[in-house]
């Protein structure tokens, strides 16, 4: 087995004058779950589509299982796209038969959660159940590489926990997993993270590596909504974590001045920054440039 | 002013989508509805919006022209530009001329959509499209604002924009009812409603929901009873409704743990 399952080397993709992915290099190794983060429009899906050989690179090189992502290598790949890639007008059983035949593997058995649903049209299933079917279809042939584009978007907490169970089980049996998410709690479940912004790879490694030099100040006050409004009106990069107000890369003295001018009593203390705050600073930089 | 749905039951054929549900949405605050697939979140929101008829119960909502509703799907026209989408909806409410231009400029700015004003809705990113839908729902300054999963699939930065727009609407006096699958977001609401298969599992402020949670949640590498356990990152959490864990170390449950634990308890009481 190669030690790198999936990689990009200086990959760029342009659409006309627009550069969707700009000189990105990354890799996924056996047994690891790599989280790909970034705002909507950062280039995550375009990068994935190049890694899978679904669209061509403008420049650079993509390797899947030791070579270009051709049909033969894609047989050892499992992919769950954002849109799930199921046929809504086919039943659960028909969808699973179709993908099993395409991959030349045995049809997977239905888990207890889907028992009795074999004959139901996929479009008539709730979203969480549809995702389960898409996972089953993608995993039936025990792929070496698993690529998941926002696998848990719109899924409730219980179903999300179950999907992550499946993801970790795949890594434990040696597959390499690349997963995009907007849920930062999920990012923390990954072994390694990649952060994209405006088509470029701007951070890589652990959560701490991604956060880098970003700092944050927590604002404690009786009326968080009022303080949030005042800081927001002053143009501060305000974030919320539950009901806690946080401001990224801020000068506490300046925040204190804004709050006292608005007649709000609050206490300020520096706290460790989050990935969201790093993303907020990146988006403000992009807007300013 | 407080809007409400009282003792509401909604059936679709033999499926009971809402089963004796009561919620209140006071002016000036945000009420968040959380729950899984098929919990009845959308049906509850649509009931308050007057989009679905009740089989039993009452709805108190403002007349249509004072209601703003962002449905779970799209909420804008793909083949129109951002400006055209806003102007079309504003026209329905009789906004025109300078008044419309001023309102549109203000909303585009607050939603960070000004640079995208001339873009087709089809060409917006997911987060931008949700923000456009939101702007269209509040263009007429509704007294009651109903948002069905405004932030699903939206990146964390745009999500904060959406939250800011919702809290500004509440701060200026609107009653806001929103559904979400992001539980950290729900913690922020003044009042939260946890739905499961058509019934309210628990509702109240986050502090009240936490205080009323009975039992113990433990953390361990291996669960004792797999059917009561769920994954949180590298470890598993397990719920002990009677508060008598035989293994693992107790953790302080957050809203995600509470929602999962209560859903599991209901599964054991009332198998589907």
What's the confidence (pLDDT) of residue B74? 67
State yes or no: pLDDT of B52 exceeds 80: yes
Clarify whether residues A136 and A92 are in a common domain: yes
Domain CATH number, residue A239: 3.30.70.790
Give A222 to chain B, closest Cα distance, Å. 13
- What average pLDDT is seen over chain B? 90
Clarify whether residues A45 and A69 are in a common domain: yes
Please report how many Cα atoms fall inside a 13 Å half-sphere around the Cα of residue B210, on the Cβ side. 11
**A41: phi > 0 → left, psi -120 to 50 → alpha, else beta; which?**
left
Clarify whether residues A190 and A221 are in a common domain: no
State yes or no: pLDDT of A20 exceeds 80: yes
Instruction: Tell me how many domains chain A contains.
Output: 2
Bridge partners of A244, per DSSP, are: A241
What is the secondary structure of B71-91 as a DSSP string?
-SS--S-TTSBHHHHHHHHHH
**Best interface-test mutation with B: which of A39, A125, A132, A156 has the largest number of B CBs within 10 A?**
A156
Q: Which of A210, A229, A253 is the last residue of a domain?
A: A210
Clarify whether residues A103 and A231 are in a common domain: no
Burial of B154 (0-12, 13-18, 19+ CB in 10 A): buried
Clarify whether residues A35 and A134 are in a common domain: yes
What's the confidence (pLDDT) of residue B229? 92
Confidence of residue B161 (pLDDT cuts 50, 70, 90): confident
Domain CATH number, residue A129: 3.40.50.300
Clarify whether residues A160 and A237 are in a common domain: no
Structural domain contains residue A246? yes
Q: Which of A160, A193, A210 is the last residue of a domain?
A: A210
Query: Nearest by CB to B155, which of A40, A155, A232?
Result: A40
**Best interface-test mutation with A: which of B37, B119, B183, B184 has the largest number of A CBs within 10 A?**
B37
SS3 percent helix, strand, coil of chain B, rounded to 5, is 35, 30, 35
pTM above 0.95, yes or no: no
The whole-angstrom separation of Cα B142 and Cα B66 is: 4
Q: Which of A176, A210, A244 is the last residue of a domain?
A: A210
**Residue range B172-187: mean pLDDT, rounded:** 89
Contacts of A15 (CB under 8 A, 6+ apart): none
Structural domain contains residue A280? no
pLDDT digits (tens, 9 = 90+) for A106-160: 888 888 778 888 999 998 887 778 888 999 999 999 999 999 998 887 777 778 8
Structural domain contains residue A241? yes
| Nearest-by-CA chain A residue for B148 | A154
Clarify whether residues A108 and A50 are in a common domain: yes
**Residue range B236-258: mean pLDDT, rounded:** 91
State yes or no: pLDDT of B139 exceeds 70: yes
Clarify whether residues A165 and A239 are in a common domain: no
| Phi, psi at B137, each rounded to 5° | -75, -25
Q: Which residue has the higher pLDDT, B270 or A75?
A: A75
A188/B contact by beta carbon, under 8 A = yes
CA A246 to centroid of chain Cα atoms: 23
Bridge partners of A55, per DSSP, are: none
DSSP B166: H
**Residue range B21-46: mean pLDDT, rounded:** 91
**ipTM, interface predicted TM-score of the complex:** 0.72
Clarify whether residues A145 and A243 are in a common domain: no
What's the confidence (pLDDT) of residue B14? 84
* First vs last C-alpha separation in chain A: 45
Clarify whether residues A35 and A162 are in a common domain: yes
**Residue range B145-168: mean pLDDT, rounded:** 86
* First vs last C-alpha separation in chain B: 38
State yes or no: pLDDT of A60 exceeds 80: yes
Clarify whether residues A51 and A155 are in a common domain: yes
Quick one: which of A194, A213, A209 has its CA closest to A25?
Answer: A194
Q: Which residue has the higher pLDDT, B205 or A126?
A: B205
Instruction: Identify all chain A residues contacting B260, using CB atoms and an 8 Å cutoff.
Output: 157-158, 161
What's the confidence (pLDDT) of residue A1? 47
What's the confidence (pLDDT) of residue B272? 56
The whole-angstrom separation of Cα A133 and Cα A249 is: 43
B83/A contact by beta carbon, under 8 A = no
Burial of A146 (0-12, 13-18, 19+ CB in 10 A): buried
**Best interface-test mutation with B: which of A120, A157, A190 has the largest number of B CBs within 10 A?**
A157
B181/A contact by beta carbon, under 8 A = yes
**Residue range B198-227: mean pLDDT, rounded:** 92
Quick one: which of B67, B71, B59 has its CA closest to B3?
Answer: B59
B231/A contact by beta carbon, under 8 A = yes
Structural domain contains residue A17? yes
Q: Per the structure block, which two tokens stand in for A172? A: 């434990």
What's the confidence (pLDDT) of residue A282? 85
Contacts of B215 (CB under 8 A, 6+ apart): B239, B240, B241, B242, B243, B261, B265
The whole-angstrom separation of Cα B170 and Cα B202 is: 23
- Which residue range(s) make up the domain with A185? 6-210
What's the confidence (pLDDT) of residue B197? 87
Structural domain contains residue A49? yes
Domains, chain B, in order of start with CATH, read 1-62+143-203 (3.40.50.300), 78-138 (no CATH), 207-269 (no CATH)
Clarify whether residues A108 and A22 are in a common domain: yes
Give A103 to chain B, closest Cα distance, Å. 30
Highest mean pLDDT pick, A66-75, B133-142, B187-196, B246-255: B133-142
């Amino acid at each position: 087995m190669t030690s790198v399952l999936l990689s990009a080397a200086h990959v760029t993709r342009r659409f006309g004058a627009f550069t969707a992915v700009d000189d990105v290099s990354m890799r996924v190794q056996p047994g690891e779950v790599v989280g790909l983060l970034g705002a909507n429009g950062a280039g995550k899906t375009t990068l994935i589509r190049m890694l899978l050989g679904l669209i061509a690179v403008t420049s650079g090189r993509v390797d899947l299982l030791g070579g270009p992502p051709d049909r033969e290598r894609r047989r050892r790949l499992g992919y769950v796209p954002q849109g799930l890639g199921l046929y809504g007008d086919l039943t659960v059983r028909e969808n699973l038969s179709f993908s099993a035949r395409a991959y030349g593997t045995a049809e997977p058995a239905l888990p207890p959660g889907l028992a009795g649903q074999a004959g139901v049209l996929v479009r008539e299933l709730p979203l969480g159940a549809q995702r389960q079917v898409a996972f089953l279809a993608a995993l039936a042939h025990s792929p070496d590489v698993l690529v998941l584009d926002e696998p848990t978007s719109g899924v409730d907490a219980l179903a999300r926990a179950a999907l992550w169970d499946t993801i970790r089980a795949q890594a434990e049996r040696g597959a390499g997993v690349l997963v995009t998410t907007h849920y930062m709690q999920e990012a923390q479940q990954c072994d390694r993270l990649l952060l994209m912004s405006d088509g470029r790879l701007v951070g890589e490694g652990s959560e701490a590596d991604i956060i880098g030099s970003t700092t944050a100040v927590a604002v404690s006050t009786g009326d968080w909504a009022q303080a949030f409004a005042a800081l927001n009106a002053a143009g501060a990069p305000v974030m919320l974590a539950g009901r806690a107000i946080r401001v990224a890369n801020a000068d506490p003295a300046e925040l204190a001045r804004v709050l006292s001018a608005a007649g709000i009593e609050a206490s300020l203390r520096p706290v460790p920054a989050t990935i969201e705050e790093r993303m907020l600073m990146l988006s403000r930089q992009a807007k300013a440039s | 002013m407080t809007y409400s749905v009282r003792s509401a039951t909604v059936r679709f054929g033999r499926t009971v989508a809402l089963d004796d549900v009561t919620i209140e949405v006071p002016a000036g605050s945000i009420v968040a509805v959380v729950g899984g697939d098929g919990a009845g979140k959308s049906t509850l929101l649509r009931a308050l919006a007057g989009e679905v008829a009740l089989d039993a119960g009452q709805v108190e909502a403002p007349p249509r022209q004072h209601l703003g509703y962002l449905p779970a799907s799209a909420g804008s026209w793909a083949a129109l530009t951002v400006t055209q989408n806003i102007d079309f909806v504003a026209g329905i409410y009789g906004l025109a001329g300078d008044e419309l231009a001023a309102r549109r400029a203000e909303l585009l700015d607050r939603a960070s959509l000004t640079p995208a004003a001339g873009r087709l809705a089809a060409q917006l990113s997911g987060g931008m499209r949700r923000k456009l839908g939101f702007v269209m729902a509040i263009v007429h300054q509704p007294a009651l604002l109903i948002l069905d999963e405004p932030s699903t699939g939206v990146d964390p930065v745009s999500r904060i924009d959406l939250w800011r727009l919702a809290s500004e609407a509440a701060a200026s006096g609107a009653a806001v009812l929103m559904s979400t699958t992001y539980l950290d977001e729900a913690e922020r609401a003044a009042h939260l409603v946890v739905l499961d298969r058509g019934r309210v599992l628990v509702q109240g402020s986050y502090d009240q929901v936490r205080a009323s949670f009975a039992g113990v949640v433990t953390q361990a590498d291996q669960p004792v009873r797999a059917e009561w356990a769920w994954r949180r990152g590298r470890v598993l959490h397990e719920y002990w409704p009677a508060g008598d864990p035989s293994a693992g170390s107790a953790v302080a449950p957050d809203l995600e743990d509470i929602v999962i634990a209560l859903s599991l308890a209901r599964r054991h009481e009332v198998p589907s």
